[in-house]
Structure 1
Amino acid sequence: MINPSANGWIKRFFTELNLSVKPAQDRELFYDSLRKMGIVYGHAISLPAEEIQLVAKISHDELSKICLLYSHFQVYRLLKLSDDTTDFSTQLTAFYNQLYGNRSTILKKVLPESDVFEELEEILEERIQTNENIFSRNFSHVITNALLFQDVLAFGQFIRRNEIPENYLRKVEEVAVQIVLRALQTRSIPTPYDELIIKVFESSVRYAKIKTDNRELLESLPLSYFDAPLEKYYLLDLAALALFHEDEAQPIEIQFMEDLAVDLGFEKSVGVHFLKSAHAFLNTHRASIPYLNYKNPVKHFYDHAATNVSQLIVRNKSRLQKELSNNKDLLKLLTDSTVRSLDEKEKKKVKKQLLEICKTIPSLTIFLLPGGSLLLPLLVKFIPQLLPSTFNENLD
């Protein structure tokens, strides 16, 4: 099974990936296979291949890393007609080093000849993050890196030309943002989603600035700069994302998509097709896409933290059970906490002994960080699930 948060996950990914399934040569079918993962819309919602087994309760960030890696690899296979995973990893690492500059990391200093797979793991970990700070990411449920797919397009350019065209990502981002804003401005009546969509792009941009009062016309955008089908499909999908709402598309929205399709060199019907496809996808997965749902920031923080703690417990279940079985006093207090409230002295004892256990399990050292002790009540909440049923009178 693959754990995308542990070292060596990329090698394991390629070991389990079924390479006998070749990417579609038809560009629209190929693009549609990537779109189904959700990465095109900025939120990965499904695994890239059914035969890949992952650890339990995979997080959104972990799924994003896998989908980004998979998308890059599929573009490599499509353009290179090769399944060489070592060459692919070497080229993708070179691509990111050219894109963001060679990064001098602790890993490189300690191990100058570090494994290219390990270096790539570190790069992808950094890349899926947004430009928001940690506080904002924890409290805002709309934060997501909506422009990750731009990397995939740029990597395709890198493979074809052995370099990234000058200012390529800047141009893609600027045009993408302008198309999204122009699409939003077609609405006669703003919808509740408009502000959320703008927030998503504000958290994702690295070069462009979001100016909601900008009314750039399609004719003035450098759409002729984009000649690859995947680039054009992506711009159509971003426009369709901006036009999402519960009701049927309005005539003015359909007209906008038709005009955009024509300006990109397609028939009008292609714009309508992308609008319908995007809205079908977003409606199907709406419940799992945070920026299409409204949620109180504090509740989101609690839900997010609870999910993370639950993942840590599931993945370290056997270690925790072993440590707990060796600490009879703590085990008794945790068992008592399921049927009564502990007093202050008992709570301090539980906190101290739990932190001692966290020191022995690397994955749980997050609880030792500043502020990490605030998550201990969640740890206590989920631990009783590990206890034998004989310790819980509620299960008698």
Structure 2
Amino acid sequence: MNPSSSGWINKFGHLAQGETAHFPNFESLYQDLKKNGFVYGIHLDIPSFIDVEHALTEDEVAKINLLTALYFTFRFEKGDSDFELFVNTVFDYYQSLEVGKISFLNKILSGKQTESQLEKLLDSRIYLGGNAFNRAFGNSLTNSLLYVDVLIFRVYLQGYTSIMEHAQLLEYVTINIAYHALNSKEAKKADAKLIQLLASSLTYVNSEESNFDGTYRDVLKQNFTKCEKDYFMDMACLTIWEDKSLDYTESDYILSLGKDLEKSKKEVKSALDFVKDFFEKNSDKVAYLKDKNLALQFYDGMSKNVSKLILRNSKRLKRELTESKELVALLSKSAVKELDSDEKKKVQNQLLDIFKSIPSLAIFMLPGGAVLLPIFIKLIPKLLPSAFDDNRVEETS
């Protein structure tokens, strides 16, 4: 499955509808999403029943996990695995949240089928926005509060009518908990990055109008569900533990919050232990904990973008390259030996000729686009041979 190519939602449906044992209940789904980082807003891995051909970028992981969470939540609440019904339901759900007023639905101008429209809507939900240059920096622009969508979807399926108010309430409490967890300790650079990322991920409330004076503690006494309280606790533990330490002021805060959330000391400790173990295993993969220089961030981000461009256009690229034997020979040579200046020029010119025939690769034709060619040449031997028709669904007789 290729989540950066059209048809991926349909392919997901064929994979997920036959999956009956992976998530027996909502709690098992939550634990798997937490292990993969999705609950924490850190997009590292996907459920094991989904096969992909290539290493996934962070936004692709986020898309797969968001759709997985929404689909299995639908199955648990409705007792129905009908994928077409699910697609229509989740599309109506996002429309009922009026996300179009936040420049959402204006991005789904193409595609007549609901699945095609939903692909574009989920793309809009994953990214925080920004121009193409900003998106090149990748990780810092991925929505970190996507699990809130799942919690709201659950109450939507249960027939709760005021879902916009509930969405605002969940985001309001989440950002306040993170803010006060941060203030319970000496602020670190990584902590500031996390709180900025959470604030920029807010969809349903205005961060500039949010109240951080502690009155949110009274809101916790409202009738939140167990899964919502679990999420609040885990987000607090994330903020507390990301500097890999826990002092007495933090202990006081997290235990007090646990009491407000009707959690025992044992449950609070379990949540802290889980996030501690998560960071020990994945700290080198968490984007906002890395202090990369600007050039390296840009290169990494552009590598991800070029990878996705190759995947999206794999069939046409494969055909065009097959017809250019000299270019293929030079690309093969470049993998094991440095090309001379004439050969490099020949590769560049022939690649640009190919890119002219594929509209979505027009970025290479822009001024400075040739800078991306070394990334393309480096990635194409690894990605192209097996990147053929990733989302084709085999027909069964």
Question: C-alpha root-mean-square deviation of aligned residues, in Å?
Answer: 3.2
Distance 1:141 1:128, change over 3 A: closer
Q: Tell me the distance in 2 between the aligned counterparts of 1:321 and 1:30.
A: 38
Q: Tell me the distance in 1 between the aligned counterparts of 2:43 and 2:30.
A: 15
Q: Which has the larger radius of gyration?
A: 1
Determine the structure 2 residue equivalent to 1:39: 38
Q: Tell me the distance in 2 between the aligned counterparts of 1:205 and 1:144.
A: 12
Give identity over the alignment, percent: 33
Which stretches in structure 1 are left out of the alignment for 5+ residues? Answer: 109-113, 388-396
Q: Tell me the distance in 1 between the aligned counterparts of 2:117 and 2:314.
A: 29
Q: Tell me the distance in 1 between the aligned counterparts of 2:244 and 2:381.
A: 45
1:290 aligns to 2:287 (yes or no): yes
Q: Is the 8 A contact 2:283 2:289 kept in 1?
A: yes
Q: Is the 8 A contact 1:138 1:301 kept in 2?
A: yes
Between the two proteins, the alignment pairs up a number of residues equal to 376
- Normalised to the residue count of structure 1, the TM-score between the two structures is 0.83
**How far 1:80 moved relative to its partner?**
1.4
Q: Is the 8 A contact 2:23 2:29 kept in 1?
A: yes
1:196 aligns to 2:193 (yes or no): yes
**How far 1:369 moved relative to its partner?**
5.4
1:179 aligns to 2:182 (yes or no): no
Determine the structure 2 residue equivalent to 1:130: 128
Determine the structure 2 residue equivalent to 1:391: none
**How far 1:234 moved relative to its partner?**
1.0
Deviations 1:321-380 (A, max 9, x none): 55345335545665776434415xx65554332122123456644434565443123223
Distance 1:347 1:178, change over 3 A: same
**How far 1:384 moved relative to its partner?**
6.8
**How far 1:316 moved relative to its partner?**
6.0
Q: Tell me the distance in 1 between the aligned counterparts of 2:157 and 2:378.
A: 50
**How far 1:236 moved relative to its partner?**
0.8
Q: Is the 8 A contact 1:43 1:146 kept in 2?
A: yes
SS at match of 2:144: coil
Distance 1:274 1:172, change over 3 A: same
**How far 1:121 moved relative to its partner?**
1.2
Pairwise mapping of residues 96-115 of structure 1 onto structure 2 (< 5 A)?
A: 96-100=94-98, 103=105, 105-107=108-110, 114-115=112-113
1:279 aligns to 2:267 (yes or no): no
Q: Tell me the distance in 2 between the aligned counterparts of 1:140 and 1:19.
A: 31
Determine the structure 1 residue equivalent to 2:67: 69
Q: Compare relative contact order (CA 8 Å, sep 6+) and give the higher one, 1 or 2.
A: 2
In structure 2, give the amino acid aligned to 1:130. Answer: L
Determine the structure 2 residue equivalent to 1:4: 3
Distance 1:136 1:166, change over 3 A: same
Q: Is the 8 A contact 1:261 1:268 kept in 2?
A: yes
Moved more, 151-160 or 375-384: 375-384
**How far 1:211 moved relative to its partner?**
8.9
**How far 1:313 moved relative to its partner?**
4.5
**How far 1:33 moved relative to its partner?**
2.6
Which stretches in structure 2 are left out of the alignment for 5+ residues? Answer: 385-397
Determine the structure 2 residue equivalent to 1:154: 152
Distance 1:96 1:216, change over 3 A: same
SS at match of 2:163: coil
